Structure 1
Amino acid sequence: MLLRELREERGLSQFALALQTEVSQRHLSFVETGRANPSPELIGKLADRLELALRERNRLLLAAGHAPVYRETSLDDVELDAVREAARRILKAHEPAPALLVDRRWNVVELNQGVALLAVLVAPHLLEPPVNVMRVSLHPDGLAPHVVNFGQWREHLLARLRRQIAVSLDDELAGLYEEVSSYPGVKGTPAPTGNEAADVLLPMRLRVGDRELEFFSTMTVFGTAADITVAELAIESFFPADAETRKVLEDLA
């Protein structure tokens, strides 16, 4: 059942998945209905084709009666000290521009001093741990009233969450989506119409005092992670998208 759900979320037919993993459609049907138990090797092939994250690979193994392969280490464990130190160095090097380290549910793990530029616009209750990036971005007491192109930015963030939920089938992420998508819109901020002039990158246009700053962001992950916790960490870094924003950051530096 889990395999079928993961396959259907990716828009793959049973025939296509069977063909790409070099098994018969009949055998794959038996695997999906629980009439046959796949070997760990077949699960590995299926996981590769479905591009499953480490957590979902463990779930498939457990569903088939096998022991999970990938461990999940607590963020506070001494074994992850080197990972957190590496992240801190990256965050520090990105100053004065904002950058932060988040977990798979968009909770902030580490941040740099540049985030203060954004935090001053956010109500204190949204900055109480655990700070969640999606809540801060979309809540009416957060950045939402200050984002000039909020309609576009909101849809971008919600689409990102929808994709993440489709891949992970994570109930907590689904709950987060239900929460943030129910926040009221910001007065005077039009929703995207679908015919806006396309930017090379979708910027976040932020009104700070009498200035309008413009940022685009990148996401960085640990490419060789063999631990679930590490694999699900990501660094979001904001870069100036125009000369004025670059000048503001230089002044802050």
Structure 2
Amino acid sequence: MDIPTTENSRLKIVIGEIEALRMKRQHELADRPHPYLKRFTQQELNDEAFPSYKNLLVGRSRRIPDRQMIINIAEYLDCTSDERNDLLMAAGYLPIQTELEGRALERALEWSHLTMRSIPFPAMIVTHTQDIKGVNEPFRHLFDIPLDRNYDGLMNRIDLHFNSDLPIRSRSTFDKASFEQWEAHAKNGINAFKREHILSRYDAWYQKLFHKFQKYNVDEYPNVLDAGEEIDHVQTILARIESSGELVPIRYRQISISAGSRLYPQIAVFLPVDAAARKVFEDLGCPTDCEFSIHGISYS
């Protein structure tokens, strides 16, 4: 039985898209070798991603690959999110929506700013690119973020934790125990970031962030947790007591609130854990019971 012309046409479009991407990747190899020594040949694609690809090329098979196979091909071809979605749509499948953009992102950020105003604890707004789009006054005072506009370019979560021009790194690593805790938190954050954005790792924004990681020698940190190792999400920092100006160690934890069904943008909220932290937070004007609610949902 003949396959309908429309399906034959779509199959030709899919093969054309795959071949265009494959040749694009081969062309890129002229400038630099692939880190995993891929050659992006038709045979290699057949062997590594889609065992029926050669049959598809010569007409022995005329069935459009299923959705998961298209995703596998896109993975082999190191596709960006846009390239993968173009390939999915060419094959007649729904695209994978990873991050908000355009007006949808603007609306989510507007909601986040409005919501952050009702939060009585230190808080910041973070996008999927780890850019910090806003902080409240308790946050600025707790972490001693300078008001100098020269620091605005450092408003990224990576800079916040790793840049030595900001006080957070030195105040979080003031002795051996605090350094080990800070290092474990950094390792956990890097691993979580990689898991969250595995489908975006070839996108320009991800690569830009990867270079920022390299700037701070983040590659020194292990890529995986030790077997059986558990991460304590409580962190320690030297914080200033308003009345005396003295720096004291306090323990705090972070919770995240998302604007909708997507993980980002999100509001990171910092809550006190011990008595010293509650005293510092109280001086910042935070409530002492460590509880608050947003649209009827309580957080503590």
- The answer to which structure, 1 or 2, has the higher relative contact order (CA under 8 A, 6+ apart) is 1
Q: Aligned to 1:207, what secondary structure does the other structure show?
A: strand
Identity in percent: 14
1:73 aligns with 2:110: no
Give the TM-score normalised by the residue count of structure 1. Answer: 0.61
Give the TM-score normalised by the residue count of structure 2. Answer: 0.53
Match of 2:209 among 164, 173, 180: 173
Counterpart for residue 242 of structure 2: none
Structure 1 unaligned blocks of 5 or more: 3-24, 185-193, 226-230
1:219 aligns with 2:248: no
Counterpart of 1:252, as a letter, is L
Tell me: CA distance 1:124–1:146, structure 2 relative to 1, closer, same or farther (3 Å).
farther
Match of 1:88 among 107, 110, 113: 113
Tell me: CA distance 1:37–1:159, structure 2 relative to 1, closer, same or farther (3 Å).
farther
Alignment partners' CA distance in 1, 2:51 and 2:85: 17
Counterpart for residue 180 of structure 2: 151
Counterpart for residue 294 of structure 2: none
1:62 aligns with 2:86: yes
- Point out the structure with max Rg over C-alpha: 2
Tell me: CA distance 1:85–1:26, structure 2 relative to 1, closer, same or farther (3 Å).
closer
Structure 2 unaligned blocks of 5 or more: 1-17, 22-46, 221-225, 240-245, 286-300
1:203 aligns with 2:234: yes
Match of 1:99 among 115, 119, 123: 123
Taking only aligned residues, the RMSD between alpha carbons, in angstroms, comes to 4.3
Determine if contact 1:98/1:113 at 8 Å carries over to the other structure: yes
Counterpart of 1:160, as a letter, is G
Alignment partners' CA distance in 2, 1:138 and 1:158: 12
Q: Aligned to 1:128, what secondary structure does the other structure show?
A: helix
Tell me: CA distance 1:247–1:119, structure 2 relative to 1, closer, same or farther (3 Å).
closer
Tell me: CA distance 1:126–1:163, structure 2 relative to 1, closer, same or farther (3 Å).
farther
Q: How many residues align?
A: 203
